[in-house]
Structure 1
């Protein structure tokens, strides 16, 4: 059973690296395997990774053109495969779902899918599916994504949208939300611990300020641009917001130590820090903020990597770990947490036909999230 489907749909295509998107009319895709669900896309968010991909900075990920981007979107179920899987049957026609980029058509049999990979709760899913499956494709990256009126998604990767959230509110949470939520979980902190978020006014960062405070941490947000700093300060979360251009990390460590009644340099500062910007300067600032035995969670992946001081790792026992999105279980937990605690991304919405205007706005660096709202042209 399905709703009446149109014979055509509109989609924005990337036809070459470093080129504007092109709006075209094509037939809608069709479910092809038992786990497939066809959704009507209601909102699709633009991520920094969309820019990185479109700029040609992710070699090997995008194999063919033309390509439909967006790996964080939300929509309404309109059709199943003719003989749906049990996972697909869990979603009825008309259900609203959030769709992350990872992992479309996970193989079900590899090392990761069989649960023999990471034991961290952030990554654990039902046996037979893993966001780390090396054989899976990724919506909006290695396959078409959400900048279209319809999309085929994998029932194992999507999550029900809580009633309290709209599609526009949900879309940014499908990458930015789950990524920063999982990164905070990977810090493994106790209530009242200090955590820093580098790039606190960006898409992930401003959500991280909200999650961190609601998780019970003392949150320090750091940024170095006027627009993002203004956005972070305007959230009124109770987090401390610092302009890295005006305050040195070493001086900030001394202030935190005094507030905590600590006299030993090794125990002054943050218990953990999450690095979202791609600059070496931001990474170095973050490392300076950490106490000895602290944890640095790296989310960004600059083309040339980061230079890491062996002294920090050896003499200060700083742990450096990476974090990439989270499991389907973590995705659902994050959505419910967001609905319960009123956590929302600051968004600016555009219709599908104005995706290139959205990209221009992204390059202004104002912070928050930019979203295609399909309802603006329906």
Structure 2
């Protein structure tokens, strides 16, 4: 049906995923979007236990990626320009945090020891840092939607052999897996429940970068 907000929607059962009855529905809403996107990015990055992961951008996607990777026994670096988001990243399992800024790229380039990197921020500025952080033969998974060009030198790509892949929301099977993971141990993220009458306010906050977490519309 037209529009993005409705009390009911009709879906083909082949594309629906059964939700656990004993899990708070409000926590499931972002799991079905941001969380499965982060899970898909981790899978596309071929992340394995014992590796070092750099996550650029600690909004919804990044914070979910950190939690999923924590359960895999991965050493993680979280990068964001917002110190409050980095506080969440520490609580969710990041071993290291770094504030995006002038010296970040140089500091990372001095010891580019991360196997994969996940780009979760929809701005080109994060790419210089993520490129600097990746070791030779590493991997980058781009999960943020961004329409602008990003800084990338093909000579660096050829010399390092780094593999870059894009990743979308995820498959039905990946959604089933992340729902099961959340049911076993909830994936956390700041959630603000609002009524439909405040949907426009929420969209404005998102556009202005003032959202404190994930908005969940309740009826």
The aligned residue for residue 9 of structure 2 is 151
| Residue 34 of structure 2, aligned match among 163, 176, 196 | 176
CA distance in 1, matches of 2:181, 2:24: 15
CA distance in 2, matches of 1:343, 1:302: 25
The aligned residue for residue 203 of structure 1 is 60
| Residue 324 of structure 1, aligned match among 155, 162, 168 | 168
How far did 1:278 drift? Answer: 2.4
Q: Are 1:187 and 2:32 matched, yes or no? A: no
> TM-score w.r.t. structure 2 length?
0.90
Q: How does 1:83-232 map onto structure 2 within 5 Å? A: 147-200=5-58, 202-232=59-89
Does the aligned pair in 2 maintain the 1:274–1:296 contact within 8 Å?
yes
Does the aligned pair in 2 maintain the 1:227–1:366 contact within 8 Å?
no
RCO higher in 1 or 2 (8 Å CA, sep ≥ 6)? 2
How far did 1:236 drift? Answer: 4.3
Does the aligned pair in 2 maintain the 1:209–1:239 contact within 8 Å?
no
CA distance in 1, matches of 2:120, 2:48: 22
Q: Are 1:244 and 2:179 matched, yes or no? A: no
| Residue 301 of structure 1, aligned match among 134, 137, 145 | 145
The aligned residue for residue 3 of structure 2 is 68
CA distance in 1, matches of 2:106, 2:122: 21
More helix as a share of residues: 2
CA distance in 1, matches of 2:166, 2:29: 23
SS at match of 1:370: strand
Distance 1:367 1:209, change over 3 A: farther
Does the aligned pair in 1 maintain the 2:50–2:74 contact within 8 Å?
yes
The aligned residue for residue 343 of structure 1 is 187
Q: Which runs of 4+ in 1 moved over 6 A?
A: none
Q: Which runs of 5+ in 1 are unaligned?
A: 1-28, 30-66, 70-146, 258-267
How far did 1:289 drift? Answer: 0.2
Q: Are 1:373 and 2:213 matched, yes or no? A: no
CA RMSD, aligned part only? 2.0
Computing the radius of gyration from Cα coordinates, the structure with the larger value is 1
CA distance in 1, matches of 2:184, 2:109: 33
SS at match of 1:156: helix
> TM-score w.r.t. structure 1 length?
0.54
Does the aligned pair in 2 maintain the 1:250–1:289 contact within 8 Å?
no
Does the aligned pair in 2 maintain the 1:298–1:322 contact within 8 Å?
yes
CA distance in 2, matches of 1:359, 1:301: 17
CA distance in 2, matches of 1:338, 1:305: 35
CA distance in 2, matches of 1:312, 1:336: 40
Does the aligned pair in 1 maintain the 2:108–2:129 contact within 8 Å?
no
Aligned length in residues: 218
CA distance in 1, matches of 2:7, 2:180: 26
